[in-house]
Structure 1
């Protein structure tokens, strides 16, 4: 049984929070140490990194533990898109999923209900992924499985910039404009600013809705696994902790507090984890 820590209150969103976003890499490998700058850290910093990895162990190293806990349970997979299935890039429109990752997602969806929950519009995510066998929840889950696109909740009109120095000015301008619109609020994701309606809805609510739709509202025979890298994914991690079932997996090589249980270093480790899940099921079915 994995000890679960009490969910903490998320930090308030700051307009310059995008500065925290950066590409992640693999915690246990030399590659991650180099890309995350761990190789250049002092001994104390390396010790802190090791402590973080102890607190959020690799889902790959803990894979058998996860599989053992999943026995006699129905696994349900939830995935973020940007930074989880595709790398973080300067232009969100060019955040393409690789053929290998698409294949891994397709394979895991053959065995488990699989959903992508993204800040993008559902149509945009579907366009990027192109797999008909998945559940798609766009705009942080506000347009889950809707047959008609909801323009109020779509998130295609992201404010983008290639000049990092202009972000604080842009964020302040958006903040000033929104003072006249109390029913709208400014939030942030990876290298984007977003304007969202004030609705009590987030990725955590999307997870609950999908589990309910799949017939698992009060089920003890389900093991949800949510993989994500962004602050907005913390709501989903908190839901799984509150249910005392399932695992949140944070995609990050940079030590940071999270409501997740495990970690993965980057998209390549996400692909490996999904592939291992699919292969395990295939071996059990043989």
Structure 2
């Protein structure tokens, strides 16, 4: 049986779980052993405590300690579904610079032998898989419009790209040229205007108005406002929520091997996925600040996601 090793993350109260060594999130400080490595998975079970009402995260949602307790106490096996940017990898000014947290990637690869894992991203599928390697995982790109299975088979679950994206390309490129610092990203089934590096932030209201005008001229497309982006996708696209539901329906079509779906995501585009796993599963918002959400838990950032996955992987390997 493997012992639980050191974890550096902190729970939602801001205090390390074991205040002498900082070994395990959510353990009562009075339970610290002289040798923290003596903690086995069985020893930890039942000792992970929910944060008190006064120590919940700012959104009123329980945080890391409560989430870990819920995951370890699950009566059925899990299925893990995760966004990439802002969840497994920090947001970067240039999307190509993003890299997954090494601890999170290690944990997911360890669990993938017996736990279904899906990465659900707004990135194009090929782009996504150049940044994260989990051979046994299923990958969804372009908000679920592209899917690739562990064997390499690639499909478009919800049909081909809308031709209107091609018609929009020149129009939105002209807008980007007008607003210095913004730039266009072309995905297989989406067009994205990034404005994180907009040189004159005072022009942001004007940029929003221009994008809204374009959205009105292309009713066959939907415009999604994300984290410093405006993204156009086919109006018929189901979004991440539809992709998650599609995946879960095929994960156990006969209903003979139920699993508890757990979805981690940081953006407004993840709200559909939180709704898709409710009420049988768990939605985990990854956000430093509060906002309305359908998720039941909140982690403050990618470090806490990595900590939760690491603890879960060690428990899974007991």
Q: Distance in 1 between matches of 2:310 and 2:110?
A: 7
TM-superposed deviation, 1:105: 2.3
Q: Does 1:83 align with 2:86?
A: yes
Asked whether the 8 Å contact 2:81–2:264 carries over to 1, the reply is yes
Change (3 A) 1:276 1:225: same
Q: Indicate the RMSD between aligned Cα atoms, in angstroms.
A: 2.8
Unaligned runs of 5+ in 2: 1-9, 17-52, 163-186
Label 1:62 to 1:177 Cα distance change in 2 as closer, same or farther (>3 A): closer
Q: How does 1:18-97 map to 2 (within 5 A)?
A: 27-29=12-14, 50=55, 52-53=57-58, 55-68=60-73, 70-71=74-75, 73-97=76-100
**Distance in 2 separating the partners of 1:130 and 1:220:** 27
Instruction: Tell me which protein shows more helix as a share of its residues.
Output: 1
TM-score, normalised to structure 1, is 0.74
Residue aligning to 2:154: 147
Trace 1:1-286 onto structure 2 (pairs within 5 A): 27-29=12-14, 50=55, 52-53=57-58, 55-68=60-73, 70-71=74-75, 73-145=76-148, 147=154, 152=162, 154=188, 157-161=191-195, 162-163=197-198, 164-199=201-236, 201-216=238-253, 218=255, 221-241=258-278, 244-283=279-318
Moved over 4 A (4+): 48-54, 148-153, 216-220
Please state whether the residue corresponding to 1:78 is helix, strand or coil. Answer: strand
Mark the CA change 1:120 to 1:278 in structure 2 (over 3 Å): closer, same or farther: same
- Partners of 2:100 and 2:285 in 1: CA distance: 19
C-alpha distance in structure 2 between counterparts of 1:196 and 1:202, whole Å? 9
Residue 56 of structure 1 and its aligned partner are, at CA, apart by 1.1
Please give the alpha-carbon distance, in whole angstroms, between the structure 1 residues aligned to 2:204 and 2:132.
29
User: Relative CO higher for 1 or 2, CA cutoff 8 Å, sep ≥ 6?
Assistant: 1
> Could you tell me the TM-score, scaled by structure 2's length?
0.67
Deviations 1:217-249, CA, capped at 9 Å, x for gaps: 7568310000111111111111222xx211001
Deviation at 1:210, TM superposition (A): 0.6
SS in 1 for 2:111: helix
Contact 2:222 2:232 in 1 (8 A): yes
Query: Is the Cα contact below 8 Å between 1:90 and 1:191 reproduced in 2?
Result: no
Distance 2:90 2:235 in 1: 29
Name stretches of at least 5 consecutive residues in structure 1 with no aligned partner.
1-24, 32-47
SS in 2 for 1:144: strand
d(CA) in 2 for partners of 1:65, 1:185:
36
Matched with 2:29 is none
Q: CA deviation at 1:159?
A: 1.4
CA–CA distance in 2 between the matches of 1:89 and 1:49? 33
Q: Is the 8 A contact 2:62 2:296 kept in 1?
A: yes
Contact 1:208 1:217 (8 Å CA) reproduced = no
Q: 3-state SS of the aligned residue for 2:154?
A: coil
Q: Match for residue 18 of structure 1?
A: none
Are residues 121 and 217 of structure 1, via their aligned partners in 2, closer, same or farther at CA, if it must alter by over 3 Å?
Answer: farther
